[in-house]
Amino acid sequence: MRGRMLAITIVAGLLATGIATAADLKPIKSQRAKDVTVTLLNDTGQWKVGSNSFVVEFTSLDKKVVEVAKATVSTSMAMPGMAPMIAGAKLQPDGPGRYRGTIRFPDAGERQVTVSWETASGRSSTRFSVPVR
């Protein structure tokens, strides 16, 4: 009985750890680009001024993982009377159809975000806006 309780505790602990990563992430933005949905996520569902960690996921319309290569995330902010402010993310593959990224924003405001990726059928990209608060 005691051994069984311990086993249950360990399994529950492992499940909690595994699910915690996925379930604690909130979508920042989800954008459909033809047959692929691109979703940015992090722990708050928002980008903030300063350093940000996030995840970008590529899924099919029926919510299955889409394996992509060479994903990139870049952002641009229109600044009145100035050249646009550009910031790119550093991305690391983190499993099929998923990348972990970091990006830094020096100020608040709306960003035009461009995500691009490669599949067997070629290179694709999509553009959408995300506020930095």
Q: Which residues bind Cu ion (CB under 5 A)?
A: 77, 79, 85, 107
Q: What is the rounded CA–CA span in Å between residue 130 and residue 93?
A: 22
Q: 19 Cβ partners below 8 Å, 6+ apart?
A: none
| Residue number, 24 or 107, with CB nearest to Cu ion | 107
CB of 56 to Cu ion, least distance (A): 22
Structure tokens, 107:
């100020």
- Residue closer to Cu ion by CB (options 11, 79) is 79
Distances from the Cα of 108 to the Cαs of 30, 50, 57, in angstroms? 20, 9, 24
Q: Is the dihedral of CA 100, 72, 68, 65 positive or negative?
A: positive
Residue 117: its H or E element: strand 109-119
Closest residue to Cu ion, Cβ-based?
85
Closest CB to Cu ion among residues 33, 85: 85
